[in-house]
Structure 1
Amino acid sequence: MTVDYKARLKRVYAAIHDDPAREHSLDELADVAALSRFHFHRVFAAMTGETVSEAVRRVRLNRAAHALARSDTPVAAVGRACGYANAASFTRAFRAAYGITPGNFRKAGQALPLKLRAIGQEGHSMFPVTITNETARRAIGLPFTGPYMQIGAAYDQLSAELAALDLWQQTRGLVGVYFDDPSIVAPEALRSFAGVIVDADLPLPVGLDELSIAGGRHACMAFKGPYTGFGLAYEWLFGDWLAASGEAMRDAPSWEFYLNTPMNTAPEDLRTDILLPLEDRA
């Protein structure tokens, strides 16, 4: 009998994202994966590049950072909602990941990149935007419906798929495509796509979807910093920059090209190209 490891690991990631506050024991997650308790953790780490505890901690702290940035919920309550029984344990874990306490993270605006924190201060401007002529790209990946900040669940599942198929060496970069305007579409109904760029002749793996990303003229914002700053960056790009540029948006979704990932990069050093399709100039 052939064992579909990728499907089993997708179930594990889904369980973690569905309830990050839960104390996910190895035995329980081994049951979710329908794998031997003796071999489960070794298989998980070998195929995903992270241990189960690292995966749980990453999902929890990402959820906590978003909550600190987007709400005024008390810090202790944010910690409890993300699985930390007391403020001390939450502070230790958060400081280890972000280099600052949760309270100071919120007070200092650390959820936003330095340039976003400086908006409105004289002499400061947003990240640089250039006009580029992008080539068409082919992406394979997984669709996701729900709050954009939770698309990490789809990327975790995609990572498990690619690792199981030994396809990472054939990818040409990580992308996210965002189809809806979060200012008018309910968070639970937002549609997006977590994908990787691949060559045109790569057969589409079973279980993954395919998406064509149109080429042509784009406004490309060179964004640096944690993903929690995307919301304000988009507001500036679609607002102040677009109004001053004289450019017209094309009827195509914006997308992001990730130059590195949180798996091995500190939040302040994350680099992302945010791309807005533009009409051709006459």
Structure 2
Amino acid sequence: MNSTDVITSNPTRVTPQRLFIVRYTLEVPIYVIGLFLNSYVAYMFLRNDRNRFRESRLNRIITYLVGACLLWSAVSCFRYFEWLVDGGMSTTLNTIYALLAPICLVSILGLNLMLAMERFFVMRQRSDIDTKTDDSVLPNNELQATVWIWSTAVYYITVIVAIITLYISTFLHTRKILRMYRRTQPSSAKDVVQNQALFQIERKVLFYSVCFGLVVIVCYLPEILMNGCIIVRIIDPHTQGDLIEVWKCVANVFVACDSVITPLLVLFVGPKDQRHDEENL
């Protein structure tokens, strides 16, 4: 491989058979489920109490996160079905996908970072380029492709490390507070009620931190590791295409799962009555 070659997970620009099978038997059904699930969660979240959306920054971030997952599911479904019909030969549509795909992923990771920061500061402070592309991922221009790969890798790694660090810090701080509450001997019935309320809030935040942090790690780690190995040339995509194909299948499915897992977390794990929690604080 020459030093001027663009490092990519698919140098042949041809979709391998296994990647094609995984795409339409696993990825597409996941994105379809994500499309309906995110629509339902966004509708229910906004319908129940619109005042909470306006008053609570946390609720706004969660709603925007669900919206980003909804857009990512819709773009992925339309892209894969369009590729199935015409083989992805439309330059115009591929350019649109190339623009929307990074916007969706950057939005999802950025909003996850905002959510992690919100939980961190609430518990700490008690307050509330236009270019052609053949695969809708990498530009055809060698220099642009190289810049895109490196900038994307640095962004993903930085954001994911920041999200995980914030959640770990929140976890450690909350665990410390929980232990302090257990050791505290209340002097009155009012103190007992207040300590119990604070204990429940801290415990929920601890649970949120663990759940949302694990989703980021599990869903994006395979993709990060694969791109990292390609960038540092531990794996050569020109000679180890079979390994890259299998790895890409796994990574794509894990990334797709985020569009389903995130709304499920919001639906079953997310804050049920944020206003009540803030009043207790």
The structure with the greater share of residues assigned to helix is: 2
Q: TM-score, length-normalised on structure 2?
A: 0.27
Higher relative contact order (CA 8 A, sep 6+): 2
Larger Rg: 2
Q: TM-score, length-normalised on structure 1?
A: 0.27
The structure with the greater share of residues assigned to strand is: 1
